Amino acid sequence: MKKRYLLLLSPLVFLAGCSTTLEQCDPKNTDIGIMDKISCNYSGNYQSRVDRKQQILENEKRANQQFKEIYAAIEKQKNDSALSIKQKQAQQQKLKTDLTKLTNEIKQKAQGRNDLQAQVADIEQQLKKVNSSSSSELEKQVELDKLNKKLQQLQKALNI
């Protein structure tokens, strides 16, 4: 007799298992009964949910790795540009000292020539102006290059 009832109930349990959806098989859902939980387990809805969540996790891990690589590239560029700025500042400082030395040398060689002395004094004044200005480094570099060209012309005029 008990076997007969079990045989009659087994198709109902099978049909109940087929009638559950993915939304119903959410482990957070506490409103479903024991039969629904059994059907979620046997229908594969729990496993498909686990597989879907693992796929999402893998995608997020890949995206996180890409973000880390991008961040590392940005940090490298930042460090390279900081190094480049330091190199440019060092070059600019060297140019300033070279200009000062050249100006002093030309000033000594131009003794007795008032026209050249006036030009040297003008270049010295412009050099002080560039050194004390609050212009950008690029603007200062352009001005220093102009002053360097003027000094080279004076150097040629003095045959140094």
Query: Mean pLDDT for each consecutive 10-residue tract of the chain (160 residues)?
Result: 61 55 71 76 80 94 92 86 79 82 78 76 82 76 81 73
Q: State whether 34 and 70 are in the same domain.
A: no
Q: Encoding tokens for residue 102?
A: 């050249």
The answer on 51 and 24 residing in a single domain is: no
Same domain membership, residue 34 and residue 51: no
| 51 shares a domain with 33 | no
Q: Which residues does 4 contact at the CB level (< 8 Å), separation at least 6?
A: none
Specify the pTM.
Answer: 0.46
**Do residues 80 and 151 both lie within one domain?**
yes
109 and 94, same structural domain? yes
Residue 59 sits in the same domain as residue 124: yes
What is the domain range of residue 9?
1-43
pLDDT at residue 17 in the model? 45
